Amino acid sequence: MTLRIVPLSEALGAEVTGPDWAQPLDSRTVAALEAAFLEFHLLCLRSETLTSLAFLGLARQLGTPQTQLIAEGRQADAPEVSRLETTYRSMADKPDDMRSVRLSGWHTDDSYFPVPAKATLLQSLAIPDSGGQTRFANMQTAYRDLPEEMKARIEGLRAVHRYDTRRAKAPPIELTREEEAETQEAVHPLARRHEDTGETAIYFNANRTDRIVGMSAAESDSLLDQLDRHTIQPKYQYHHTWRVGDILIWDNRCLIHSVNMDFPVGQRRIHQRILLAGAAPAHTKAP
Ligand SMILES: [Fe+2]
């Protein structure tokens, strides 16, 4: 089977074609995918739409799927697979200002947990005619470009991540009492070392990072605002225009993402998602 891996942008990402993703992969293909994942941080597997069981079968060859916080979208035959629908059903659902939609905010999945998911697999099942891209930014390159004094300043700092924060531009969906009980504050290093490559990334989540431990609110906000502006510069970004069936798998340890929520009312936008278990984030050096 020929595996073809082609970069998608200067910033990050590669397209992968060749295999039938519904079938078991041979060990050489899995090894090549793992190497490409570490090199490009995001892979786009071009595919037909998969059943939730086939999607889960693929994910199991790449890591350990875990059930997701929001119970509502979980599939009965495969609870690790969640179905996410972002369709605007009526004009009243779509705001004029996209910043008021939570998914428009830059984030990394799951960072309100002490052990966040290492990777996300997302497959499109239905897409609108225009808009709806998922945008990604490379936090390793953003870290590498920081002035040395800023690298020294954030070294060893820890930040508090919460399901919601006063800093977020839009509120999240409401949790059930059981879901809320599962989301306590988590504290993570601001400069995060990648477990597999040793590279450092800025680990910042505009929707979830609340404050830096040991700093006044004003000082913390000022530093987080500065990092926010730095990390979302266009040169660090790749915007994915979905085709039906595309499977993206991205590395939450070194990428942030957001959604262009500007797409036509009434056109369906549906994905299925799997999170792969990770490890507790580590500092670049011992704090
Ligand atoms: Fe996300």
Question: Are 168 and 206 contacting, i.e. CB atoms less than 8 angstroms apart?
Answer: yes
pLDDT score of 287 = 44
Tell me the mean pLDDT per 10 residues along the chain, length 287: 93 97 96 98 98 97 91 87 95 89 91 95 98 98 98 96 87 80 89 96 94 96 97 98 98 97 96 96 73
Which residue type occupies 176?
T
Concatenating the DSSP letter of every residue in 143-202 gives HHTS-HHHHHHHTT-EEEE-SS-TT-SS--PPPPHHHHHH---EEEESEEE-TTT--EEE
Which CA distances in Å does 161 have to 27, 93, 113, 115, 167? Answer: 37, 28, 8, 12, 11
pLDDT score of 68 = 82
Q: What distance in Å separates the CA atoms of residue 197 and residue 14, rounded to the nearest whole number?
A: 18
Collect all residues with Cβ–Cβ distance below 8 Å to 84 and sequence separation of at least 6: 73, 270, 271, 272, 273
Dihedral sign for Cα atoms in the order 276, 38, 210, 240: negative
Q: For residue 19, how far is its CA from the centre of ligand 1 (angstroms)? A: 26
Neighbours of 222 (CB within 10 A): 11
Q: For residue 1, how far is its CA from the centre of ligand 1 (angstroms)? A: 32
Question: Are 130 and 257 contacting, i.e. CB atoms less than 8 angstroms apart?
Answer: no
Query: Burial of 151 by CB count in 10 Å (0-12 exposed, 13-18 middle, 19+ buried)?
Result: middle
> pTM to 2 decimals?
0.94
Q: For residue 105, how far is its CA from the centre of ligand 1 (angstroms)? A: 9
Q: For residue 270, how far is its CA from the centre of ligand 1 (angstroms)? A: 14
Closest by CA to 240, choosing from 140, 126, 132, is 132
Q: What distance in Å separates the CA atoms of residue 253 and residue 257, rounded to the nearest whole number?
A: 12
Task: Supply angle C-alpha 76, 246, 121, rounded to 5.
Answer: 55
Q: What percent of the chain is modeled with pLDDT above 70?
A: 99
Neighbours of 126 (CB within 10 A): 14
Query: Burial of 134 by CB count in 10 Å (0-12 exposed, 13-18 middle, 19+ buried)?
Result: buried
Q: For residue 214, how far is its CA from the centre of ligand 1 (angstroms)? A: 28
Q: For residue 287, how far is its CA from the centre of ligand 1 (angstroms)? A: 29
Across-strand partners of 192? 201, 283
pLDDT score of 276 = 97
Residue 142 has phi, psi (to 5 degrees) of -60, -40
Q: Where are the domains positioned within the chain?
A: 4-283
Instruction: Compute the radius of gyration of the chain from its Cα atoms.
Output: 18
Tokens of 222: 């000022």
Q: For residue 139, how far is its CA from the centre of ligand 1 (angstroms)? A: 15
pLDDT score of 285 = 64
Residue pLDDT, tens place only, 103-128: 999 999 999 999 999 999 999 999 99
Q: For residue 280, how far is its CA from the centre of ligand 1 (angstroms)? A: 18
Residue 168 has phi, psi (to 5 degrees) of -65, 145
Q: For residue 151, how far is its CA from the centre of ligand 1 (angstroms)? A: 26
* Homologous superfamily of 4-283: Clavaminate synthase-like (3.60.130.10)
Q: For residue 121, how far is its CA from the centre of ligand 1 (angstroms)? A: 10
Q: For residue 2, how far is its CA from the centre of ligand 1 (angstroms)? A: 31
